[in-house]
Amino acid sequence: MEMTSSTKQSVLITGCSKGGIGDALAQEFYSRGFLVFATARNLAKIQHLKDLGCEILALDVTDENSIEHAVQYVTKKNGGVLHYLINNAGMVYQTTILDVDISAFSQVFATKVFGVVAMTKAFSPLLIQAKGTICNIGSMSTYFFTATNGAYAGANSALEYVSHQMRIELKPFGVSVVHVICGAVQSNLHTNRLLPSMSPSSLYYPIRHLISQASNPSFIQENIMSSSQFAETLTSKLTREKKPAMVYLGSGLWVAYLMSFMAWCAGWLVGVRFWDLVSEGPMGMKALKGIVEREEREKEKEGKKLV
């Protein structure tokens, strides 16, 4: 029997711009016969999904009016039911805390945390009606404590907590919540990221090349899981009758596990400072310490000469 839009399983995915994880998920769900609402801030970036047969609509998860419009659209199209909501939209902003632009930092949280909460609230009547599933795409960055990544890793850590809260609170209504710890996956994340060039007045200017090198590891786009492979595996897990609470998927996750395990083992000896040992060197903080100390010694010498 051919499924009509009212009997078809439906999914809405945020952040489906071409070449990313959302795009691959939209294509995967579509290939499995779902009614797919593929969304993005910029419709031009999801035109190919319309050509494929998906419903497309503009959606900025940080904009209440945009969310409300999406709810109205899906309600009208699908009789007030939504089976899956995939909160995928995200962005990276990398800089040191002293150089941070608060509005850019806030934007990361607005997208990854407040946006997820706003989407969940707005679509909850449709999801409850369907006894549906919410999937929040988090990141393995929550396992690493490194310089320059506080906005992204912080937002993903907050999201992980929010996912757990959502899972507990939505269970009585028959809605499942799945949190994904996403490893490295081919996408546009790192080309899209906000990586402001450092001002010469920054205290970190002397080590800008080390920060830039460490923020662009060569493995990022090479030899990592393709977005289509990620989408195929995740969709299979999400469409099982018994939904997992957590999904760990993507390349390099073993590094995260190993480092967390080592940090846990080393906890009694060096505690959380284990992470300082791991990331201080590559991110140039040790080199900066050397530079600062040298400058202080020179200033001291100058001072003595003057006396």
Q: Which residues bind ligand NAP (CB under 6 A)?
A: 14-17, 19-22, 40-42, 45, 59-62, 88-91, 111, 115, 137, 139, 182, 184-185, 187-189, 192
Minimum distance from residue 246 beta carbon to ligand NAP (Å):
14
Minimum distance from residue 127 beta carbon to ligand NAP (Å):
19
By beta-carbon proximity to ligand NAP, the closer residue of 36 and 207 is 36
By beta-carbon proximity to ligand NAP, the closer residue of 83 and 112 is 112
Minimum distance from residue 281 beta carbon to ligand NAP (Å):
24
**Structure tokens of 261?**
């395990």
Minimum distance from residue 51 beta carbon to ligand NAP (Å):
17
Minimum distance from residue 297 beta carbon to ligand NAP (Å):
43
By beta-carbon proximity to ligand NAP, the closer residue of 153 and 207 is 153
Minimum distance from residue 192 beta carbon to ligand NAP (Å):
4
Nearest residue to ligand NAP, by Cβ distance, number only: 90
Q: Give the integer Cα–Cα distance in Å for 115 and 118.
A: 5
By beta-carbon proximity to ligand NAP, the closer residue of 88 and 96 is 88
By beta-carbon proximity to ligand NAP, the closer residue of 202 and 233 is 233
**Structure tokens of 204?**
């970190």
By beta-carbon proximity to ligand NAP, the closer residue of 153 and 285 is 153
